């Protein structure tokens, strides 16, 4: 089984607006390093775009994926982010969506989309947390049950 994590920096636009693009760029660089440090040797971390990152966890199980996600969340929250032009530091947090092959899909983009949905559930639950995508079959069954109730 293989897992994907999608990581999004919480409130990054506000951080960037408040502290400037140089501080924002430095923060993203620090976050990339933290994510890389939290990964296992076989994991593949990459920047997905903007303030989003993806980690591919080959040959993993749900517990291993959750451990990596939790480590990333904790280490990013505790890292100091220097603010350009001074000796002050700020903090940042991330939200993480977790999805797996084949539970949430068999195509790479399908798995990413499911991880992205889980990410937005994490954000809607208060941010600074990880949420695992629902099993594809369970989500499909729930949709069918809703349709049957409405018939």
Using CA atoms, how far residue 11 sits from 2, 8, 84, 94, in Å, is 29, 9, 18, 9
Which candidate in 41, 51, 52, 110 is catalytic? 51
A 10 A CB-CB count for 90 gives 13
Q: Is 51 known to be catalytic?
A: yes
Strand 130-132 relative to strand 94-101: parallel, antiparallel, unpaired?
parallel
DSSP result, 129-143: SEEEPPPHHHHHHHH
With CA atoms as reference, report the closest residue to 13 among 3, 23, 1: 23
Could you list the active site residues?
Answer: 51
């Amino acid at each position: 089984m293989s897992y994907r994590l999608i990581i999004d920096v919480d409130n990054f636009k506000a951080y960037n607006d408040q502290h400037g693009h140089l501080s924002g760029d430095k923060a993203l660089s620090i976050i990339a390093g933290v994510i890389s440090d939290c990964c296992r040797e076989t994991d593949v971390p990459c920047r997905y775009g903007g303030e989003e990152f993806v980690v591919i966890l080959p040959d993993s199980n749900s517990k291993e994926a959750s451990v990596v996600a939790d480590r990333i969340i904790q280490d990013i929250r505790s890292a100091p982010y220097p603010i350009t032009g001074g000796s002050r530091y700020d903090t940042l947090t991330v939200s993480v969506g977790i999805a797996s092959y084949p539970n949430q899909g068999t195509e790479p983009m399908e798995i990413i989309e499911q991880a992205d949905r889980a990410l937005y559930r994490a954000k809607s639950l208060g941010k600074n947390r990880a949420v695992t995508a629902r099993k594809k079959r369970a989500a499909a069954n729930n949709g069918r049950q809703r349709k049957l109730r409405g018939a």
